[in-house]
Amino acid sequence: MIRLPLFSVLFFSLFSFQVFAANLLNGETVREMEWEQLMPADFSLEDLFGQQDQLASIDDFDPKAQLLLDEMMAAMESAPVVPELDGAMVKLPGYVVPMESDGMNVTAFFLVPYFGACIHVPPPPSNQIVYVRFEPGTKVENLYDAIWVTGKLKTERVSNDMATSGYTMEAFQIEPYEL
C-alpha cells in the first residue's frame, strides 16, 4: 500500500477543490469561450464581405458605393447568433467600449474582441459584440487593457448609434485578462 504524507493529501484535495470551484459561479458551470464560438458554425465573415471586390472598384462618390456599404452594414448588424448559448454562464475575454457610467464606474459597456472595435468604423458583426451590464460597476483605467467577463449570456440585440450587439450579458465577475 502506498502511503502519502498527510500534507500531500490535503494539498491535492484543496487544489482539486479550487480547480473545480473555479469552474462554478452561482452554482452554474462556467464555460470559457472564444469569440469564434459566438458565431454559428456555418457563418463566415467572408460571406458578409462578398461584395468587397465590387465595392473597391467603385468611385467613393458613386451612389452605388453607398448602397453596397449600407447592405454590408445591415448584414453585419443582423449577423446570426448561436441560440444554444442563450442562458449559458460564460467567461469571455475582450475589451471595454463604455456605454453607461455612474461617476467613475462603468456600469454598461460593449465587450469586443479587439481594441478599437466600435470606435473605428465599421464595428464588428453583431455576433462579435456583447452588451454587458455590471450593476456594481467597474473602474476602467485603460481601454487598452483586456479583461475577462464572467456572467449569464443571452441572445438578444442591443442597438445604439455606435453599434449593434447580438448578445447581452449580466456580468457577475470582471477581472484582468491574464494568460
Q: What is the CATH number of the domain that holds 110?
A: 2.40.50.870
Total domains present in the chain: 1
What is the reported pLDDT for 111?
97
What is the reported pLDDT for 52?
59
Q: What is the mean pLDDT of the chain?
A: 83
- The contacts of residue 37 (CB under 8 Å, 6+ apart) are 82, 85
Whole-number percent of the chain with pLDDT over 90: 51
Q: Provide mean pLDDT across the span 60-89.
A: 88
For residue 108, tell me if it sits in a domain: yes
For residue 72, tell me if it sits in a domain: no
What is the reported pLDDT for 155?
98
For residue 27, tell me if it sits in a domain: yes
Pick from 8-22, 57-71, 82-96, 152-166: least confident = 8-22
Q: Provide mean pLDDT across the span 36-57.
A: 77
Nearest to 105 by CA among 47, 171, 17: 171
> Pick the residue with more confidence: 92 or 143?
92
CA distance linking residue 4 with residue 9, whole number of Å: 7
CA distance linking residue 62 with residue 39, whole number of Å: 33
pTM, two decimal places:
0.80
Backbone angles phi, psi at 122, to 5 degrees: -85, 160
For residue 55, tell me if it sits in a domain: no
- Answer whether residue 56 shows pLDDT above 80: no
- Expressed as residue numbers, the domain containing 18 is 6-41+83-176
For residue 51, tell me if it sits in a domain: no
Q: Provide mean pLDDT across the span 8-33.
A: 62
For residue 93, tell me if it sits in a domain: yes
The SS3 of residue 111 is: strand
For residue 37, tell me if it sits in a domain: yes
Asked whether the beta carbons of 145 and 111 are under 8 A apart, the reply is no
For residue 96, tell me if it sits in a domain: yes
